[in-house]
Structures are given as C-alpha cells and as structure tokens.
A and B are shown apart, each in its own frame.
Chain A
Amino acid sequence: MQMIEVNGIKKYYKVAKRDKGITSSVKHLFHRNYQVKKAVDDISFSIKKGEIVGFIGPNGAGKSTTIKMLSGILYPDEGKLQINGYIPYKQRKQYVKNIGVVFGQKSQLHWDLPLIESFELMKYIYKIPQNLYEENLEKFTKLLDMENFINQPVRQLSLGQRMRGDIVAALLHSPEIVFFDEPTIGLDVVAKEKIREFIKYMNETEQTTIIFTTHDMQDIEKVCDRLIIIDEGKKIYDGTIDGIKNKYANSKTIEILLENGEKEVKTFDINKTPMNEVMEGLFSKYHIKDISICEPEIDEIIRDIYEGRVALKTTDGKVGEI
C-alpha cells in the first residue's frame, strides 16, 4: 500500500525584484517587478507504509517547502498529493490527526513550563485516550531517558533534552506518519545517537512511516533505508544509500606503504582509469609493501553532488533511480 503519493508538485514564490540605489527604491514603492522563484519544481515520489526515507539537499533546495506541503501547511501550486487517503491541504483537520511533525529549529513546547504541561495539552488537543496517553508517555520517557527532567521548565533544559521533549510531544497521539525536519541539528554525538535509535525503534515496532530531513549523513546511513536528494527544487536522486555509493563513488583513494617506509596517497577516477591500469602503473613504479583502497565517504559523495561535480542525471535526462 502506498502511504504517500506525490505527483509532480510545484511551489512557486513571488519575490519582489529590486535594484540598488535610491531611485530604484522609490520606484519600488509604486511599481514592483516580481520574479518567480521555484522553491519546489515538479517533484514526484511515493512512499510505502512503514518506510523510512531520508530527505536531503543543500540549504534552500526546497526540503522544508516540500515537508510543509506534505504536512498540509502549504498547498502546492500544481501537482497532486495524497497521503494516507487524504489530500493534506484540503482535509487538514482530518489529515493531521494521523501525522506528527518535529521541527528541529522550532519548538512547540511552552518555554516556561515543565514538559509534562505541554504533553497534557497535546492529550486534549488530539483527544488521546487516557490509557494510550499514559502508555505512550511511559514508553517514550523510558526510551529517551527523560525521567529526570520531565518536571523541569523547558527553559532550563539542554538542546538535546528539549529536542527529545519535542519528539515526544509530536508522537504522543501515535501518528502513522512522522515528519522529522532536522531533528538532530546542533546536537552532540550522544544525543544524536539516542534520537536515531528512537526513530529506528518507532519505525520497527510501530510500523511508523517516517520522513526525515537532515544535513548529517550519519543520520541517513544509520537510520534510513532510502534516500531522496533534492536540489534547486528538483529530485535528483531516489534510491538506496549503497546504490548512490556504487553509482557515484567514482574516485577511489589508494594508500600505499613503500618498502623504504614512505607513504603515498593517490586518488583515481575509476571511470577514466580502470583499477587494472592503476595497479599496473603502481606496481611498475613502486616497490610496494602494503596497499589499502578506501571507499569514499558518503559525505564526500554528497558534497560532490551539491557542488555539481557529479551529475546525477543519466544521459537520457532521466533522474537516476536504482
């Protein structure tokens, strides 16, 4: 069953164009030239129930806009969107009963009050039955290790603690779909790990469908089965993480230890020079004691993609799917 069905959605923003200088500022008051910015430009994908999908892209790529359309905050200017049987922006109230949204950069907790007060409010807003509320609260606080700060005012919590509070607040009503928008931003390694484990647990035990945006590739590698990359409003990759490594990890780094104890590091593009030639060249040139071949890190691949060094489009112009 397809849980999320996205078909060619587009979102445009009108941006007032203005030139420098006083005269143009005055002109700007009376007449404005608008420029259309395509925040999301024809994105399609579908996600099955229980999938866990990482959503990445450079800043300004259209991730947040996409998440906002998926969660019903924004309507798409064009295209079709159906999630869990609903059209989010049309059937908002019905639709949001079954989703949870965590914004890493925007807390929904009451700053001056203990976490538990915000949770209580969620109980009434989502009409969560008392037994389910208690069960979830107990389970989540245990899993996220929150027992000792649940009664502290939010303003006294660390960022990691606050984020855990936000996650619980968004999940108390047992939503079937959860959107995490940069949930690990600014957190330390331990806090990140805790949140990753929790997200994975929710996906495995409750079959929760999860969409996850982040800039941390570790998040994606550890949590997600599937990766969608968008850039400049377009989807440029949709597939597994291994898939992207195999397909786009063109450069290999070779470290060689010479017999005289010196070390050499070489990087090759295996599309240009096949490994066979590389090795032959190396053997004929050096006396080699040891050799190690390193796969490029996913971080590097993504960086290459963002910087346009690796084109994800295949020759016939289609988006590469694996």
Chain B
Amino acid sequence: MGEIKIAAQSLRMSIHTRMQYRVDSLVATLAVFVREATNIIVIYLALMKFDKINGWNVNEMLFLFSLLFLTYAFVVSLFADLRDFSCMIREGRFDRLMLRPRGLLFQLILNNADIIASIGHGTLGICLFLISANKVGITWDIPTILYYISAIIGGVLIQGGMFILFSALSFYFVETNSIREIFYWNMRKFAGYPISIYNKLIQTLMMYVVPFAFVNYFPAQYLLRKEDMADYNEMYMYIAPCVGVVIYLTAYGFWRISVKRYKSTGN
C-alpha cells in the first residue's frame, strides 16, 4: 500500500513539474514524436518502392516498429533515472536515496518518469499499432491478446534490465555513457528491421548479447509467422516473453552485488 502511495505522489510530482512549463512540455513531446515519426516515414517511403524487405511488407514493418515504441514508452516512464544513472552518481543524488528507508532500485524506478519521452514514443507506438494491426492478418482472440500483453511486458523488462546492467557498471567506472551508446542506442536502430536481413554477427548480437530480437522480432513472428522464421529455433517465439524476466532478474542480481562497491562522490 505504502509503495503505491509513493508511486502516486512521485507521478503527481513529475506531472506537476512538467505542467509548470506547459508550452515547453508540449513542444518537447511533439519534437520527440516528430523525430521518431520522421524515421518511420523515410522507411515507409522506401518500402513503397521496394514493396517488401525479406518478405515483410509495409504494414508488417510498422507493426514491428510499434512494439519497439510501445515498450520504450513504458521503459522511459519507469527507468528514466537508470537511463541517466551516471549523471545521478556524479551529482551525488544517489546518496540521498541511500538515506531513505526504501529499496534503492524501487526508488530509482519510481522517482522520475520521463513523461515527455513516454508520451512521444507511446503516441507514435499506438498510431503505428492502429494503422497496422488490422492489416497484418492477426486474429485478435484472447490467447493472442494475452501473448501480446506478456510480450510487451517482456520487452519492457529486457530494456529495463539492460538499463539496470549499464547502471550497475557505473559502480565500477564513473562514466558509462559510451558503453550504453554503443550497446543500447545503436543496437536499437537495428531492431527496427527484421533481424534476418543482417549478417550473422549482428544477428548473434541481437539475439544473445543485446537481445532486442526478443523485444519485437520474435514476438512479431509469433503473431505474423513470416517465412524468415525458418532460420531460427521456433522456441524463440514462445519464450520471448520469458526472456525479459530472466534478463531482469540477472540484472537485479548484478545490481545487488555492484551496489556494495558504491563510493560516493566528494562534497
């Protein structure tokens, strides 16, 4: 109960803060939306020419993208502090969390929600979903909906787990932004397309190292059953939602060990 009250108050405060700068918030949200949508429009136009990429048509591609944006909308509303964690350490704000009688990860997750990014990505994700969901041949019965929801949760956990892992690295090195840049943001760009178009190295990275394939590709395959799935173990479609749980728990374990090494910055 107490936890829910903290969550509610934190969210209230995040929204209240943004509402103080209404115009800025609106413009920033729009900027996020337009920035991401531009990428999609470019791909859309390109696909009009090529018709298909490895058997995936435009709508199927948009569906693949929608999973990426929808999961990310949740990720930034929950894991914003972990995304900016090295900054938090440098400014000494992490000390304050240690002085409060609550779990550290719990506080980090609830503390700050990046509402702007969340709404920007979320809106785009919903738009893409609405455009594509009825045109890709999915029958939305109860099991499918349940799979879809758990795939979204799994995707959020995968990315959240990655943020936790990167944050835990901050306890060993003060600056970890470049590691995050290489492994998260660059790999995320690959995730917009079916991984079957890439060479073996990138595919391996996407499946086993930075497992974005389980955020959108394999869940989409479960729902769409494209031919390129033949290249992979069929199991991957079914275990996609569980991968998130495993990664999250692993990240949590690593965090627990790493946080013991914490050395605060100076005054």
Q: Is A127 an interface residue (CB 8 A)?
A: yes
Cβ-defined contact, A153 with B96, below 8 A: no
Q: Indicate if A74 sits at the interface (CB-CB under 8 A).
A: yes
| CB <8 Å contact, B101 and A113 | no
Are B9 and A13 in contact, with the CB atoms below 8 A? no
Q: Which residues of A contact B101 (CB under 8 A)?
A: 93-94, 96-97, 125-126
- What residues of B have a CB within 8 angstroms of the CB of A106 in the complex? 92-93, 95-96
Contact B100 A125 (CB under 8 A): yes
Q: Of B12, B20, B260, B263, which is within 8 A of A153 by CB?
A: B20
Q: Are A124 and B6 in contact (CB under 8 A)?
A: yes
Q: Judge whether B209 is part of the interface by a CB distance below 8 angstroms.
A: no
A127 B2 Cβ-Cβ under 8 A: yes
A227 is an interface residue with CB less than 8 A from chain B: no
Minimum CB distance partner of A111 in chain B: B17
Task: Say if the beta carbon of B177 comes within 8 Å of chain A.
Answer: no
Contact of A108 with B17 in the complex, beta carbons under 8 Å? no
Q: Given A64-B267, A124-B2, A124-B5, are A73 and B98 neighbors across the interface (CB < 8 Å)?
A: yes
The residues of B that contact A113 with a CB separation of less than 8 Å are 13, 16-17
A64-B267, A110-B17, A121-B13 given as contacts; is B6 within 8 A of A71 (CB)?
no
Per-residue interface assignment for chain A, residues 54 to 74, with 1 indicating a CB less than 8 Å from any chain B CB and 0 otherwise: 000000000010001001111
Chain B residues with CB under 8 Å of A126's CB are 100-101
B264 in the interface, Cβ–Cβ < 8 Å? yes
Q: Is B95 within 8 A of A73, CB to CB?
A: yes
Given the complex of chains A and B, what is the CA–CA distance between A93 and B267 in angstroms?
23
Give the CA-CA distance A117 to B264 in the complex, in Å.
27
CA gap between A126 and B262 in the complex, in Å: 23
Residues from chain A with Cβ under 8 Å of B13 in the complex? 110, 113, 117, 121
Q: In the complex the two chains form, what is the Cα distance from A216 to B79 in whole Å? A: 41
| A93 touching B102, Cβ below 8 Å | yes
Contact with B along A90-125 (1 / 0, CB 8 A): 001110110101010110101011000100110011
Q: Give the size range of A's interface with the partner.
A: 20 to 34
Scan residues 185-222 of chain B and give those whose CB is less than 8 A from a CB of chain A: none
Q: Hey, which chain B residues are within 8 Å of A108, CB to CB?
A: 96
Residue of B nearest to A75 (CB): B260
Convert B1-23 into 0s and 1s, putting 1 for each residue whose CB lies closer than 8 angstroms to a CB of A.
01001100110110011001000
Question: Contact: B16 with A105, CB < 8 Å?
Answer: no
Min CB distance A4 to B, Å, is 16
Whether B143 sits at the interface, judged by CB under 8 Å, is no
Residues of B within 8 A of A93 (CB): 101-103
Closest to B20 in A: A112
Q: Which residues of A are found within 8 Å of B260, using beta-carbon distances? A: 75
Pair B98/A72 contact, Cβ less than 8 Å: yes
Distance (whole angstroms) from the CB of B170 to the closest CB of chain A: 15
Once the chains are docked, how many angstroms separate the CA of A153 from the CA of B16? 11
Instruction: Report chain B residues within 8 Å CB of A13.
Output: 263
Say whether A68 contacts B96, CB under 8 Å: no
Q: List 9 A–B pairs whose Cβ atoms lie within 8 Å, in order of A's numbering.
A: A73-B95, A103-B95, A106-B95, A113-B13, A113-B16, A125-B100, A125-B101, A126-B100, A153-B20
B contact residues vs A (CB 8 Å cutoff)? 2, 5-6, 9-10, 12-13, 16-17, 20, 92-93, 95-96, 98-103, 260, 262-264, 266-267
Known: A74-B262, A113-B17. 15 other contacts (CB 8 A): A64-B266, A64-B267, A68-B95, A71-B99, A73-B95, A74-B263, A75-B260, A101-B99, A113-B13, A117-B13, A117-B16, A120-B9, A121-B9, A124-B9, A125-B100
Which A-B residue pairs are the 3 nearest by beta carbons? A124-B5, A97-B101, A112-B17
